[in-house]
Amino acid sequence: MLSSKTMVVQRRKKKTFKPKFDNERDQLINSAGAGATNDRLQPDRESNKHHSCDNLQPATIAALNIIQTRAHNLCNGNLKTPVIDCCRDVNCYLNATVCHPYSRETCETIIPTTTSKELNSSRSVSSSRLFLTPTGDDRERSTSREKSSETSGTRKSASPAPTTTTTKAALRSIQNADAHKNPTDYEESYMLKIHLDLFAWLLFALAFVTRFYRLSYPRNVVFDELHYGKSVAHYMRNQFFFDTHPPLGKQLIAAVAESVGYDGNYTAAHVGSPYEQTFPLFWMRLIPAFCGSLLPSAVYFLLKEIGISRRTSLLGGLLVVFDNSMLIQARLILMESMLLLFCTLGLYFLLKFHKSKFLHISWLLNGLASSALLTFAFSVKYVGFFTYCLAVYLIVKYLWDLLYDGTKSDFHIVLQTIAQFIIFCILPIVIYLSIFYIHLNTLYKAGPHDVVLTSAFQASLEGGLASITKNQPLKVAHGSQITLRHTHGHMCWLHSHAHVYPIRYPDGRGSSHQQQVTCYPFKDVNNWWIVKKPKYDDIVVGEKPEYIRHGDIIQLVHGITSRALNTHDVAAPLTPNCQEVSCYIDYGINMKSELLWKVDITNRDKEGSIWKTIKSEVRLIHVSTGAALKYSSRMLPGWGFRQHEVVSDRETGGKDVIWNVEEHRYTKDSDRAERERTMMNAEMIPTGPTQLSFMQKFLELQFKMISIGGQVQSHMYSSNPLEWPLLSRGIAYWVSSESNAQIHLLGNIVIWYTCTLSIFIYIAIFTFYLLRRRRLCYDIDEEEWTRLLHVGHTFFMGYLLHFLPFFFTDSALFLHHYMPAFLYKVQLFCFTVDHIDYLIRRFCVPSLWMVRSYRLAVMAWCVAVIGVYIRFLPISYGTTKLSIEEILALRWKDTWDFVVHRAVGTRTVI
């Protein structure tokens, strides 16, 4: 005899783990239903008409509900699928509601049928886990069964149990039904079904219309379009350029420009300059506008994926559509719309990745998509690296939570960790290197920014500086004429001129009053020096040059003034803790000359012990004092012609003491006048390229991007992070030369203020719930608490990561730096709106008017958002010729600086 308990055990043989509450469930079924027959295996019995588990008594159902509650509590409410089912037989149907107790979705009822087609499909239904939550019809049938049991006694208990033969016959009948299925049923398995989300398409349509409306207007350079337009032109001409941000965004725009035949002709000189008629302005602005059109739908999907209701997710997308700052950034040749789209989609696929089954195809695809998009984000602008850090934080948290999952083995957790390390660490490195590989291989010609990089990098560019040419010797020898460049950091050359240091400095300190030695950031004839060994008087290079090696003692003679490089125990002009460097002039004050320097080649392990042009990196150590020749990075005042200070420092470590020879030739004439005339007329810049590996160029470029990107700058529209949340300052992007029509970067003030308030609301409710839970007071269910934590880990943490670092940044900051943090703030606001709606529905269920009033208030707020958006459209599109009075009417805050024409040809900031 085959009991229901035996059937359950047989279905569980394939499982490796059986929770404790499943064992209790089986024991309760066995004890409560002992002696009962399994009518479900006899289709001809009357009880099968309802397809219900009639062998379970009401007490058993109550017990199962208790076990379900215990299982839910043990899992902290994280179970998204039901855990308890009363039977696992293929012939059993439950007319029960399938839903989670805390689910926000509409519950669906399984209606019993008797057709063979649906009978076959019931296998998957019966094998799924159903909650015993009866509907109204179930309650009526349950009551009738109870009354029937009172009158008929134990009629069902006395029924004979099904035999094995009967069971096999029933299974054969199902197989025969499968064999006679309609052929069209098999064709359905080869059909592709596409589900379209109308809300997502609505958001895309609204964003597309607003972003592409008159996209080619204004046909003038708008703010940073000056910078990015030049970058795209350099791509077209294969000319190297330097930028402090990665190149992916500019590469995408350049790819579109090349597809329409753009030749790189770009003549704009300043903001407001008109574009040439041949300049493909629409196509240059296409990629930012398209990414800006996709962003609202991406926000909608991300909010829905994290558990926020569909209507509130739609609200989040609408806020992106109707924010004026988002509109402006998406209509110009700027990077923010691409950055925000990649960040949002990267997090969306990361959430889907963590919900997918391990090693399933969807798991792999979602992981690869998330990793690639997050890499694209910080390959557009480095601020996207903060989103990547947020993703790493979520991944680490996910792996940490696996340690508490008793159903996962140690091997599974280790395998998960290794797989996610490869996907989210190794793959981003490969993609990032590939982007720069394309960048450096495309820009193989010398360009206007070469001087920012080292001589070796310049030598690798076609048409730039070279290290090995037929016109320039490789090895430095006694009598070599050289220019010494500061290798790392600032771009400048060791320089001297006939002017001397002042007798006394403003602080009362005295100087040597000798010839000044500086570091000059331009090519100049006064940058030439002659290498001379102390034991030689003649500086002409003979047929057998005497090469300079590591550890040799030399003198450096200034080529034009013939004074030798000197340092002594005199305080430097701006760095008094270091020694002054000068060219020695004997004024009869009997100061001892200190002219000897030792050559220390720092990379001799790689380049050898002979001093080579460009390749060798050297420190010049003063023999008497042991101090190293150093670039101090300080700018001299007017008496030093605003050139940079050079000192000698007893601390010989660091990058500022490293120099390299850039230009080099041998001295062929001993006559001083002839030698000087040759220097004046033959400043040589070789043109032949040399080889430099990709990794060497990549590492140097990364170092320059990081070091130069942090330099302090100033701008009249710069702002500090404290001014961003309340929109205290905007940016004048463009002003028409003929009228007061202008584009001014300002956000929708209603959205910005409300979303800023939502941050404090979230902190308050989280703190309140946390304190209450410490006192064992659970005001909200576990699913909502989990959702609140998940939103905090994603959006609140994302806001902090994209906002707080700017407080420690020294460079000039602008309002557009706040855009990523603003987007996280909008999404956090959407959760706040959704959570308040949840609280009203939970605690004010009898008062339906409160729910409706709250939703009407949200709708009224949305109307205000749209009203403000329309009000500021004239300065978002720049198509309207505004009067001074109309501009003043838009100046809602005194800190907003608009530009107006008070007279012909004059502009005033008001």
Pairing between β-strand 628-635 and β-strand 644-649 as defined by DSSP bridges: antiparallel
The first and second tokens of residue 452, run together, are 């920012």
- Give the contacts of 398 (CB within 8 A, at least 6 positions apart): 354
The first and second tokens of residue 286, run together, are 């296409």
CB count within 10 Å of CB 126 equals 20
- What are 555-593's pLDDT values in tens digits? 999 988 888 999 988 899 998 899 999 998 765 555 566
End-to-end Cα distance, the chain: 93
3-state secondary structure of 487: coil
Cα–Cα distances in Å, from 557 out to 188, 337, 447, 539? 89, 55, 32, 10
Residue 765, pLDDT above cutoff 90: yes
877/330 Cα distance (integer angstroms): 11
CB count within 10 Å of CB 702 equals 13
pLDDT-based confidence at residue 373 (cuts at 50, 70, 90): very high
Pairing between β-strand 553-558 and β-strand 742-745 as defined by DSSP bridges: unpaired
Q: Are 639 and 516 in contact (CB under 8 A)?
A: no
Residue 20, pLDDT above cutoff 50: no
Residue 688, pLDDT above cutoff 70: no
Task: Establish how many alpha carbons lie within 13 A of residue 441's alpha carbon, considering only the half-sphere containing its beta carbon.
Answer: 9
* For range 461-489, the mean pLDDT: 75
pLDDT confidence of residue 523: 80
Q: Are 589 and 503 in contact (CB under 8 A)?
A: no
Q: What is the DSSP letter of 521?
A: S
Cα–Cα distances in Å, from 868 out to 212, 320, 324, 815? 20, 14, 9, 19
Q: Which residue has the tokens 């906002």?
A: 803
Q: Are 600 and 619 in contact (CB under 8 A)?
A: yes
CB count within 10 Å of CB 337 equals 27
Complete domains list, the chain, with CATH = 217-439+747-877 (no CATH), 473-680 (2.80.10.50)
580/575 Cα distance (integer angstroms): 9
pLDDT confidence of residue 340: 97
The first and second tokens of residue 381, run together, are 């602008």
As a dihedral over the C-alpha atoms of residue 537, residue 539, residue 542, residue 544, rounded to 10 degrees, the angle is: 80
Q: Are 241 and 234 in contact (CB under 8 A)?
A: yes
The first and second tokens of residue 128, run together, are 């799924």
pLDDT confidence of residue 535: 78
* For range 68-77, the mean pLDDT: 44
596/651 Cα distance (integer angstroms): 18
Backbone angles phi, psi at 296, to 5 degrees: -60, -40
Residue 186, pLDDT above cutoff 50: yes
Q: What is the DSSP letter of 276?
A: P
Q: Which residue has the higher pLDDT, 88 or 178?
A: 178
Residue 16, pLDDT above cutoff 50: no
1/528 Cα distance (integer angstroms): 105
Q: Which amino acid is at 604?
A: R
Q: Which amino acid is at 161?
A: A
Phi-psi region of 611 (alpha: psi -120 to 50; beta: other; left: phi over 0): beta
3-state secondary structure of 876: helix
Buried b (16+ CB within 10 A) or exposed e, 583-618: bbbeeeeebeebbbbbbbbeebeeeebbbbbbbbbb
Q: What is the DSSP letter of 486?
A: E
Residue 162, pLDDT above cutoff 70: no
Q: Which residue has the tokens 């009866």?
A: 134
Q: Which residue has the higher pLDDT, 129 or 904?
A: 904
Q: Which residue has the tokens 């978002």?
A: 876
86/8 Cα distance (integer angstroms): 10
Cα–Cα distances in Å, from 800 out to 135, 389, 796? 46, 12, 6
- What are 514-555's pLDDT values in tens digits? 899 999 888 888 888 999 888 777 778 877 888 899 999 999
pLDDT confidence of residue 312: 96
759/761 Cα distance (integer angstroms): 5
Residue 133, pLDDT above cutoff 80: no
Q: How far is CA 118 from the centre of its chain?
A: 49
Which of 684-688, 726-730, 793-797 has the weakest average pLDDT? 684-688
- What are 77-127's pLDDT values in tens digits? 444 344 444 443 333 434 444 444 333 444 444 344 444 434 344 433 333
User: Between helices 310-321 and 198-212, what is the axis angle to 10°?
Assistant: 0
Q: Which helix (H) or strand (E) holds 833?
A: helix 819-843
Q: Which helix (H) or strand (E) holds 356?
A: none
pLDDT-based confidence at residue 375 (cuts at 50, 70, 90): very high
Beta bridge partners of 529: 482, 558
Which of 126-140, 412-426, 757-771 has the weakest average pLDDT? 126-140
pLDDT-based confidence at residue 147 (cuts at 50, 70, 90): very low
pLDDT-based confidence at residue 170 (cuts at 50, 70, 90): low
Q: Are 676 and 487 in contact (CB under 8 A)?
A: no
Q: Which amino acid is at 574?
A: L
Phi-psi region of 440 (alpha: psi -120 to 50; beta: other; left: phi over 0): alpha
Pairing between β-strand 553-558 and β-strand 528-532 as defined by DSSP bridges: antiparallel
Q: Which amino acid is at 530?
A: I
pLDDT confidence of residue 60: 54
8/15 Cα distance (integer angstroms): 12
pLDDT confidence of residue 597: 92
pLDDT confidence of residue 64: 52
291/287 Cα distance (integer angstroms): 6
Q: Which helix (H) or strand (E) holds 646?
A: strand 644-649
Cis before 183 (ω within 30): no
Q: Is 635 exposed, middle or buried (0-12, 13-18, 19+ CB in 10 A)?
A: middle
200/298 Cα distance (integer angstroms): 8
Which of 54-68, 398-412, 860-874 has the weakest average pLDDT? 54-68
pLDDT confidence of residue 849: 86
pLDDT confidence of residue 685: 46
Which of 31-35, 481-485, 596-600 has the weakest average pLDDT? 31-35
Percent of the chain with pLDDT over 70: 73
Q: Which helix (H) or strand (E) holds 841?
A: helix 819-843
Report the length, in residues, of the chain.
Answer: 910
Q: Are 82 and 102 in contact (CB under 8 A)?
A: no
pLDDT-based confidence at residue 308 (cuts at 50, 70, 90): very high
pLDDT confidence of residue 377: 96
Q: Which residue has the tokens 């042009």?
A: 613
Q: CA 150, 156, 162 angle in degrees (round to 5)? A: 170
Which of 406-420, 710-724, 856-870 has the weakest average pLDDT? 710-724
Q: What is the pTM of this model?
A: 0.70
- What are 229-277's pLDDT values in tens digits? 999 999 999 999 988 899 999 999 999 999 999 988 887 878 888 998 8
pLDDT confidence of residue 191: 75
Q: Name the most confidently modeled range: 72-81, 262-271, 601-610, 839-848.
A: 601-610
pLDDT confidence of residue 348: 97
- What are 188-212's pLDDT values in tens digits? 667 777 888 999 999 999 999 999 9
Q: Which residue has the tokens 């060497």?
A: 696
Which of 152-166, 245-259, 631-645, 738-752 has the weakest average pLDDT? 152-166
**What mean pLDDT value characterizes the chain?**
79
Nearest to 86 by CA among 72, 65, 101: 65
Q: What is the DSSP letter of 275?
A: P
pLDDT confidence of residue 473: 78
DSSP letters of 164-207? HHHHHHHHHHHHHHHHT--HHHHHGGG-------HHHHHHHHHH
pLDDT confidence of residue 44: 42
